Amino acid sequence: MAPLWNKYFNRITKIIYVVDASNLCQISAAGLLLYTILADPLLKSVKFLLVLTKMDVSYRQMRNEALLMLQMKRLQKEIKQNVKIIEASAINGDGCDEILEWLIKVF
């Protein structure tokens, strides 16, 4: 599906990009795709939310590894968009209120 996404970029004003932080094998690929999306000129003014899921206590030690693999420091230097990052867990509800607040704010 990802190769088709750019066909819809001209109508997008908000993006919620969700990454499963428990799957370290997929985080690098997700980071590359994230960088590609954010680098697209059609998305320079988009509101962007990055949600790192499965960030409950059992995966908390992976937080730094996930952010490193997503190359967030590099992204924040090179990309002009303001990317809001929220860590979330469906198990304990962490981050759900923040996601809702972001949605209310941007809509």
How far apart (Å, rounded) are the C-alpha atoms in residues 16 and 103? Answer: 9
The answer to whether 77 and 38 have CB atoms below 8 angstroms apart is no
Residue entry with tokens 């000129």: 41
On the question of pLDDT at 93 being above 60, the answer is yes
What value does the mean pLDDT take over residues 49-70?
74
pTM, entire model: 0.85
| pLDDT for the residue numbered 102 | 97
On the question of pLDDT at 1 being above 70, the answer is no
How far apart (Å, rounded) are the C-alpha atoms in residues 40 and 67? Answer: 21
Where do the structural domains in the chain lie, given as residue ranges?
18-106
The answer to whether 87 and 52 have CB atoms below 8 angstroms apart is yes
The better pLDDT of the pair 98, 82 is held by 98
With cut-offs at 50, 70 and 90, classify the pLDDT of residue 94.
very high
Q: Architecture of 18-106 per CATH?
A: 3-Layer(aba) Sandwich (3.40)
